[in-house]
């Protein structure tokens, strides 16, 4: 009896040891991957903090942190580079392009999510072109066309260019949201006499508000940071903030590094802010959809 009990105890102990060794082996196997991810995050975070401390530090020579902090470099950069006017131009272009992209992409996404028709896959492939092709492949021909028809270096031209990026991006964000909606609500509304417009505005659109919000923020970030195609067709009076920052940093000369870092932060801050908002909205939407 005692021998049987001791054998069972020994068997349980061996089983626990085997599970512990297997778990330890899995941890050690994944360790290089996690070390690589942590190292990458630390490098990105270190560079970001370095720019931040340089932009707001009074003096930073040979110490771990600056000796003091000031907003002077940010003020000087804002005045010297006329950042306010570039913000106005960028927000005007991106804001209008975001609204137009949403207006045009919502019905397109609904049709792609709900309907079956010939050449649907070809149309989806067409929408995917801005993601699959390098930006220069379509940026150079578009810039050539815009200069030939007089749309280059104009606000309407820059808005149209942003639509090439905003509409496909918005469509592919909205399609999963539309597919997650229960079509029986739409059938019920139509069976009660609602036309397609009323069914869409009363049933579909209210349920799509989280998706529309997520799409708006994501395409706003995407278009705000668009660089190559805007660089090719923007002029001195229509430069967006990213193009202006690149122009200044590429010809910095003898300008103080802290002021250049302050200039870089004026571009980083809105992008980081909207990125965090986008992540929060995505997390909130996934919890509500039960995914």
Q: What is the pLDDT of residue 40?
A: 83
How far does the chain reach from its first CA to its final CA, in angstroms?
52
Q: What is the pLDDT of residue 194?
A: 77
Nearest Cα residue to 162 out of 249, 246, 149, 154? 154
CATH topology of domain 72-289: MetI-like fold (1.10.3720)
Q: Locate CATH 1.10.3720.10 in the chain.
A: 72-289
Low-confidence ranges of the chain (pLDDT < 70): 1-18, 20, 62, 252-253, 282, 284-291
CA dihedral 91, 97, 98, 100 (to 10 degrees): 140
Q: What is the pLDDT of residue 182?
A: 81
CB contact at 8 A, 223 and 162:
yes
Query: Following DSSP, what letter does each residue of 44-77 receive, concatenated?
Result: HHHHHHHHHHHHHBS--SSSSS-S-B-SHHHHHH
**Residues 6+ away with beta carbon under 8 Å from 83:** 77, 241, 263, 266
Q: What is the pLDDT of residue 204?
A: 84
């Amino acid at each position: 009896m005692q021998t049987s009990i001791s054998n069972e105890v020994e068997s349980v102990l061996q089983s626990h040891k085997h599970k512990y060794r297997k778990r330890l082996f899995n941890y050690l196997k994944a360790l290089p991957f996690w070390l690589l991810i942590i190292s990458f995050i630390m490098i990105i975070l270190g560079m970001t903090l370095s720019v931040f401390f340089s932009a707001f530090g009074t003096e930073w020579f040979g110490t771990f942190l600056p000796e003091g902090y000031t907003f002077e470099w940010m003020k000087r950069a804002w005045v010297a580079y006329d950042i306010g006017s570039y913000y106005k131009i960028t927000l005007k272009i991106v804001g209008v392009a975001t609204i137009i992209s949403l207006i045009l992409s919502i019905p397109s996404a609904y049709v792609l999510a709900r309907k079956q028709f010939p050449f649907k896959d070809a149309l989806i492939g067409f929408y995917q072109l801005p993601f699959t092709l390098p930006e220069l492949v379509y940026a150079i021909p578009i810039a050539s066309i815009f200069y030939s028809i007089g749309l280059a270096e104009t606000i309407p031209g820059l808005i149209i260019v942003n639509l090439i990026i905003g509409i496909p991006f918005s469509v592919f964000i909205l399609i999963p949201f539309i597919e997650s909606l229960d079509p029986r609500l739409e059938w019920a509304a139509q069976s009660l006499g609602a036309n397609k417009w009323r069914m869409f505005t009363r049933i579909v659109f209210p349920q799509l508000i989280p998706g529309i919000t997520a799409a708006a923020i994501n395409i706003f970030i995407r278009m705000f940071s668009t660089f190559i195609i805007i660089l090719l067709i923007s002029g001195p009076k229509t430069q967006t903030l990213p193009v202006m920052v690149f122009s200044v940093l590429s010809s910095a000369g003898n300008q103080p590094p802290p002021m250049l870092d302050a200039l870089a932060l004026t571009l980083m801050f809105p992008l980081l802010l909207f990125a965090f908002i986008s992540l929060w909205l995505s997390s909130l939407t996934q919890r509500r959809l039960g995914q």
